[in-house]
Structure 1
Amino acid sequence: MSVLELRDVSRWYGNVVAVNGVTMTVGPGVTGLLGPNGAGKSTLIHMMGGFLAPSNGQVGIDGQRIWKNPSVYRHIGLVPEREAAYDFLSGRQFVRSMAKLHKLSDPDAAAERALGMVEMAAAADRAIGTYSKGMKQRIKMASALVHDPPVLLLDEPFNGMDPRQRLQLMDLIRKMAAEGRTVLFSSHILEEVERLAHHIEVIIAGRHAASGDFRAIRRLMTDRPHMFAIRSSDDRRLAAVLIADDSTRGVELTSTGLQVEAVDFLRFTSLLPQAARTADIRLLEVSPADESLESVFSYLVAS
């Protein structure tokens, strides 16, 4: 099991700061890297993959520095966002060439295994230039897997894939994580990150904005109200009790129940069951209304 570590990492281009003082640790499992366009996600991934030098700080894997350390490249597979394949080669030729660059003992067998993992064996003899965007993404994935690395860095891997291809890749990523690999991927499709990643790292304007489970991150945002959808046996009476307490800022009675805006999360979550019990009101449903990953991300970007 491999662990990536970034310690106070910065990268600048002239007067432009792309990444500024980022410290994070990425371990086994699936980690989602989130951030708006231009936030520095690709720059971070390229530094983790050893393709870009940090201007300051250290990027390492299992205690070893990555930059200018070819011995660690066998442990890392990188799928860049930009096209990184030669259109005149067939998919099989491209993946086999990656196996040869890694000096694998049986490059042909390694290439066939990787092609099979991404379901590209049937199209492997076609020129890459004839592939769709989704097929190009999968052939890049095969090239990153050909040497069986314990760490995978995937920059927007779902771009251009149809729904079936996305599901297949998600299943493959889950399988690799279950095997103990470290998988980090960036994506602008927040629903997929929420479904796939057990951990998120948020980058905004080159800085590390948040880290952890997105629900835990939401809990830490104490300056923001928390929205709850509630159904009970007597919504009107429950609304009167809740609005009278300082832990709430607004209670709206709707056709489907209550929409409650809580400004003191801990106090409210303690108040609600007590108030219901005292008033002899049964709580039928209590669910957070703003804890989707998209909501958390929007809050972080706006803060």
Structure 2
Amino acid sequence: MATLRIEECSRWFGNVVAVNDVSMSIGPGITGLLGPNGAGKSTLINMLAGFLPPSAGTVTLDGTATWKNPEAYRVLGIVTEREATYDYLTGRQLVVASAELHGLDDPGAAARRALETVAMQDAQDRKVGEYSKGMKQRVKMASALVHDPTVLLLDEPFNGMDPRQRLHLIELLRRMGAEGRTVLFSSHILEEVEQLAHQIEVVVAGRYAASGDYREIRRLMTDRPHQYTVVSSDDRVLASALVADPSTAGVSLEDGVLRVQAREFLRFAELLPRVARDADVRLFEVSPADESLESVFSYLVEN
């Protein structure tokens, strides 16, 4: 079981700081790397892959530095965001070339298995230059998987994929995570990260922002009230009773919708049914209004 570690790592390009004092550990399973454009995600992945040296700090795979370590590529596969492919080759030729670079005993058989894994066998004899963006992503994935790596680094792998292709890739990554492989992927498609990643690492402006699953990250944000929408038999009476309690940060009633901001989750969970009972108000629905990954991510970026 492979583990990647970034310890007090920074990377700068001239006067531009792309990554600033980031530390994180990435172990077996599926980890999602989140951040807005320019947050430093690609720089982090390139350092993890050994393509870039850190300007400060260390990047290691099972205790050994990835920079200037060709042996790392025996267990590591990477799919970059850039379409760095040889368009004059067929898909099969591209993947066979990758297998040969890895020194595999039977490059042709390894290429066939990898192309079947990403469901590209029907298009393997077409030139890569004729592929759609989604197909190029899949053949790049086949090249990364041809040597059966235990560590997979994916930079925006869902770019250009149609819904069917995305579902296929999600199923593939889930299977790899269940096998105990270490998978790290970055994505701006937040719904897929929420569905796929068991661990989320968030970077903003090159700095480490948060870690955990999206609900754990949300619970760490004690300075931001939890927001709920409430449907009851008498929203006005309930709002008046709730606003009097110090655990309620705010209450609004707009267009027939009662919105409540609670400072403390546990206190509010006890307060709401008690207040409703005392005010003789029936509760029909209580829904969190800000528990999606998109909400969490937006808050981290803004702050």
User: Residue 232 of structure 1 contacts residue 257 of structure 1 at CA under 8 Å; is this kept in 2?
Assistant: no
Q: Is 2:264 the counterpart of 1:290?
A: no
User: Residue 114 of structure 1 contacts residue 143 of structure 1 at CA under 8 Å; is this kept in 2?
Assistant: yes
Deviates more, 1:281-290 or 1:23-32: 281-290
Partner of 1:20: 20
Q: Distance in 2 between matches of 1:48 and 1:256?
A: 51
Partner of 2:125: 125
Deviation for aligned residue 1:56? 1.1
Alpha carbons of structure 1 residues 231 and 102: separation in structure 2 relative to 1, 3 Å: same
Partner of 1:196: 196
Secondary structure of 1:180's match? coil
Partner of 2:144: 144
Partner of 1:270: 270
Deviation for aligned residue 1:230? 2.2
Q: Is 2:159 the counterpart of 1:159?
A: yes
Q: Distance in 1 between matches of 2:109 and 2:283?
A: 59
Deviation for aligned residue 1:72? 1.6
Partner of 1:81: 81
User: Residue 134 of structure 1 contacts residue 165 of structure 1 at CA under 8 Å; is this kept in 2?
Assistant: yes
Deviation for aligned residue 1:78? 0.3
Secondary structure of 1:222's match? coil
Instruction: Give structure 1 stretches of 5+ with no counterpart.
Output: none
Aligned residue pairs, count: 303
Deviates more, 1:70-79 or 1:252-261: 252-261
TM-score for the superposition, normalised by structure 2: 0.95
Partner of 2:102: 102
Q: In structure 2, what residue type is equivalent to 1:61? A: L
Q: Distance in 2 between matches of 1:25 and 1:287?
A: 34
Deviations 1:64-104 (A, max 9, x none): 22111111211111000001211111100110111111111
Q: In structure 1, what residue type is equivalent to 2:69? A: N
Deviation for aligned residue 1:177? 0.8
Partner of 1:299: 299
Equivalent residues in 2 for 1:121-270 (5 A)? 121-253=121-253, 258-270=258-270
Q: In structure 2, what residue type is equivalent to 1:174? A: R
Q: Is 2:31 the counterpart of 1:31?
A: yes
User: Residue 113 of structure 1 contacts residue 146 of structure 1 at CA under 8 Å; is this kept in 2?
Assistant: yes
Q: Distance in 1 between matches of 2:237 and 2:171?
A: 47
User: Residue 111 of structure 1 contacts residue 146 of structure 1 at CA under 8 Å; is this kept in 2?
Assistant: yes
User: Residue 214 of structure 1 contacts residue 293 of structure 1 at CA under 8 Å; is this kept in 2?
Assistant: yes
Partner of 1:56: 56
TM-score for the superposition, normalised by structure 1: 0.95
Alpha carbons of structure 1 residues 109 and 256: separation in structure 2 relative to 1, 3 Å: farther
RMSD: 1.6
Secondary structure of 2:111's match? helix
Q: In structure 2, what residue type is equivalent to 1:297? A: F
Secondary structure of 2:44's match? helix
Secondary structure of 2:224's match? coil
Deviation for aligned residue 1:150? 0.9
Deviation for aligned residue 1:282? 4.7
Deviation for aligned residue 1:130? 0.7
Q: In structure 2, what residue type is equivalent to 1:80? A: T
Secondary structure of 1:122's match? helix
Q: Distance in 2 between matches of 1:231 and 1:196?
A: 32
Deviation for aligned residue 1:106? 1.4
User: Residue 154 of structure 1 contacts residue 185 of structure 1 at CA under 8 Å; is this kept in 2?
Assistant: yes
Q: Distance in 1 between matches of 2:277 and 2:54?
A: 57
Q: Distance in 2 between matches of 1:56 and 1:82?
A: 25
Secondary structure of 1:209's match? strand
User: Residue 50 of structure 1 contacts residue 73 of structure 1 at CA under 8 Å; is this kept in 2?
Assistant: no
Q: Show structure 1 runs of 4+ deviating over 6 A.
A: none
Identity within the alignment, %: 69
Instruction: Give structure 2 stretches of 5+ with no counterpart.
Output: none
Q: Distance in 2 between matches of 1:29 and 1:287?
A: 30
Q: Distance in 1 between matches of 2:26 and 2:278?
A: 46
